[in-house]
Amino acid sequence: MILLTCDQGSPEWHQARTGVITASMFATARSRVGELTDQQRTFVDAVLSGLSEKIAADRAGYKAVPRSAIVEKAIAGEPIGDFSEASKNYAFRLAIERISGQPLDEGFETYAMRRGHELEPEARAEHEVQSGLIVQRAGFVLSDCGKFGCSADGLISSDGGSEYKCFLNPEKLRTFHVDNDASEVFEQAQGCMWITGRQWWHIGLFCPALAPVGRQLWWRRFERDEAFIDSLRTDLMQFSQMVDRYESGLRQPMKVAA
């Protein structure tokens, strides 16, 4: 990995992220449409393994053999699915940034982003108190190829790292504190571990308003999931190729209609 020690939210940080596929956007980059459902995939895999359509339908839980264009294309070995519009728009934005060398949004920050950057030192300090660990400030981390990156809020010893969220939305706060559900940040945590080569990652939810009851920081440890990271890497490499195609197309001379 390539470690850049810059303050998050600073001009240097925005410049470092220019044209880079970042962990906070991995879910958007991987989002697709027109894919098989799990049930359809079970049916298709069963048919391709040599089972009859009726037996395959039973195995997949269908009462009758499913008939749809996407299933028929999958069985025929034709390509199905495509990147979502959000994914394509993100890829096009990155292509423009790689050409210009500047962030397309000119470093724009929402209130939530600014608040998160301002509260990060407090969150890190509280995390150190609660965990007994020493958290090293990280800034921005690039993959060796320079195409992927993550804003690591902290690196811990030689195997771990940390990320702090400062959500204001009561629905998100309830999801963490009441349901103990951190699935929303699982993908980002795995992405950070992929880029940094670390084995575990702490995700913390910092809410100063809960300090009177001693619950200002909710945190959880995520272990590295190699199977998920392999899938993540495959999807992101395909997304990166789309960015490359957009960039290549934009660099071609524009054809003027006669």
The CATH architecture assigned to 2-17+110-235 reads: Alpha-Beta Complex (3.90)
pLDDT above 80 (res 112): no
pLDDT greater at residue 126 or residue 138: 126
Is residue 159 within 8 Å of residue 121, measured between CB atoms? no
pLDDT above 80 (res 109): no
* Residue 152 CB burial class (10 angstroms; 0-12, 13-18, ≥19): buried
Q: Output the pLDDT for position 107.
A: 60
Dist. CA 208–CA 166, nearest whole Å: 9
DSSP symbols for 223-239: E--HHHHHHHHHHHHHH
pLDDT class of 80 with cuts at 50, 70, 90:
confident
pLDDT greater at residue 256 or residue 4: 4
List residues bridging with 218 in a β-sheet: 205
Average pLDDT for the chain: 91
pLDDT class of 258 with cuts at 50, 70, 90:
low
Is residue 24 within 8 Å of residue 152, measured between CB atoms? no
Q: What does the pLDDT average to over 137-164?
A: 92
- Of 76, 133, 101, 125, which is closest to residue 17 (Cα–Cα)? 101
List residues bridging with 206 in a β-sheet: 217
Domain ranges, ordered by start, for the chain: 2-17+110-235, 36-80
- Of 14, 12, 6, 205, which is closest to residue 109 (Cα–Cα)? 14
Dist. CA 222–CA 71, nearest whole Å: 36
State pLDDT tens for residues 42-64.
999 999 999 999 999 999 999 88
Q: Does the pTM exceed 0.85?
A: no
Q: Which residues contact 240 (CB under 8 A, 6 or more apart)?
A: 21, 147, 148
State pLDDT tens for residues 31-41.
988 888 889 98
